[in-house]
Amino acid sequence: MPEPQIRYVRTEDGVSIAYITIGDGPLVLYCSSQFLSMQHLLNDPPEDAWIGQLGDGVRQTLFDYAGIGASQRDVSDFSLGAQLRATEAVATRMPGAAFTLVGFGAGSLVAAVYATCHPDRVRELVCLSPRPSIITDRLVATMRDDWSLARRRLAGWAYPESVSTQRWFGNAARESMTPEVAAAYCEELLRTEAKEIYRRIPVPTLFCVGSAGQDREDALVLASLVPDCRVATVSNMGDGVASAVLEFMGVAVSGVNPTPAKSDNTHRTVIILFTDIVDSTALTERMGDAVFREKARDLDVELRRIIAEAGGTTIDAKTLGDGVLATFPAASQGIGAATRCAAAGGH
């Protein structure tokens, strides 16, 4: 890939943000995970990097957040607001009226906020691995105490099957930012209430999530909150992502050069059903805690039975409380199950 020209734009509070644009076609603005600079993503990416797989069929704009890569380094504000201002500044350089907005990892949250604030500019939103479970208070502490160990843990999470790619990631992260910058961005992600943000997304949205694990469960919980959301299951953040994104955008896959999926099931549309007990606090006070819990357990068993009979799969996520989250391969199955679940809850 030829070396793209780096350009600069200033945020409304005067921070210099570096960005680059490559390719030609439908417009895509990419909000990265805040661990790698845009130059590392483009100049020496791993073989399965989805950005390269999109090919020349789209016009991609990438940028470095403040404190990272070629953007201004002497900064102290790493808040979600500062990240939004950087995104807004780069978006002013996007030609045309609307574009596809893509966020990866923690960048998905920034993208979701931008889409909510500027629905007239965002044609559709794509969130890749939107809730990385690797980001914890413990990892933040490790970043400050042992940056090398923290990078190895991040690399192992991102590329569990490739030692060579893990090595690339670790070196790229070290060159992209300081451990204090990485820790500050992670702390901001941890203190932000993501659910309320995702509930307000006003544009069609695609979630690309892995096939198993806590990241998938957390992502599906968030997806269930988005008013207009599809889910594509991919084997990792390289395989199948380009095809899923292009299909969602309505771009003919034959017009670009994505890596073909390993099987027909690498990505698929998933119908999501989420149930919850309305006014559970008031019901507990009226019925008493012991009676409420017994009724809630009986209802949970009944809902799971209905879901299974309708051909759905229940997702056991720790953050659901009294709710039940399930996925279905077809809308008709999900709608049928939802109707029966609502009836069961009214008994």
What are the pLDDT digits (tens) for 186-200? 999 999 989 999 999
User: Distance of alpha carbon 274 from its chain centroid, rounded?
Assistant: 19
Query: Which of 343, 310, 346 has its CA nearest to residue 328?
Result: 310
Distance CA 217, CA 221 (A): 6
Is the CA virtual torsion 52, 169, 231, 200 positive or negative?
negative
Specify whether the CB–CB gap between 48 and 261 falls below 8 A.
Answer: no
The more confidently predicted of residues 258 and 39 is 39
Distances (CA, A) of 106 to 40, 127, 194: 18, 9, 10
Amino acid at 233: T
Find the DSSP H helices in 97-213: 107-117, 137-145, 147-158, 163-176, 179-191, 194-199
Instruction: Please report the beta strands in the chain, taking only residues with DSSP state E, as ranges in sequence order.
Output: 7-10, 16-22, 27-31, 59-63, 99-104, 122-128, 205-209, 229-233, 271-275, 313-315, 324-328
Considering the domain 7-255 in this protein, what is its CATH number?
3.40.50.1820
Distance CA 102, CA 112 (A): 9
Amino acid at 64: D
Span of 162-166, 258-262, 301-305, 309-313 with lowest mean pLDDT: 258-262
Q: C-alpha angle with apex 193: 191 to 198, nearest 5 degrees?
A: 140
Question: What's the mean pLDDT in 32-38?
Answer: 88
pLDDT at 261 over 60: no
With cut-offs at 50, 70 and 90, classify the pLDDT of residue 245.
confident
Which residues, other chains included, contact 24 with Cβ-Cβ below 8 Å and sequence gap of 6+? 56, 59
With cut-offs at 50, 70 and 90, classify the pLDDT of residue 266.
very low
User: What pLDDT was estimated at residue 267?
Assistant: 46
Within the chain, all domains assigned CATH 3.30.70.1230 are found at 273-345
What are the pLDDT digits (tens) for 65-105? 999 999 999 999 999 999 999 999 999 999 877 999 999 98
Question: What's the mean pLDDT in 276-299?
Answer: 80
CATH architecture, domain 273-345: 2-Layer Sandwich (3.30)
Query: Which of 340, 298, 300, 341 has its CA nearest to residue 322?
Result: 300
Distance CA 48, CA 202 (A): 31
With cut-offs at 50, 70 and 90, classify the pLDDT of residue 327.
confident
Total Cβ atoms within 10 A of residue 190: 12
Within the chain, all domains assigned CATH 3.40.50.1820 are found at 7-255
Question: What proportions of the chain, in percent to the nearest 5, are helix, strand and coil?
Answer: 45, 15, 40
Q: Model's pTM, two decimal places?
A: 0.74
Question: What's the mean pLDDT in 271-277?
Answer: 82
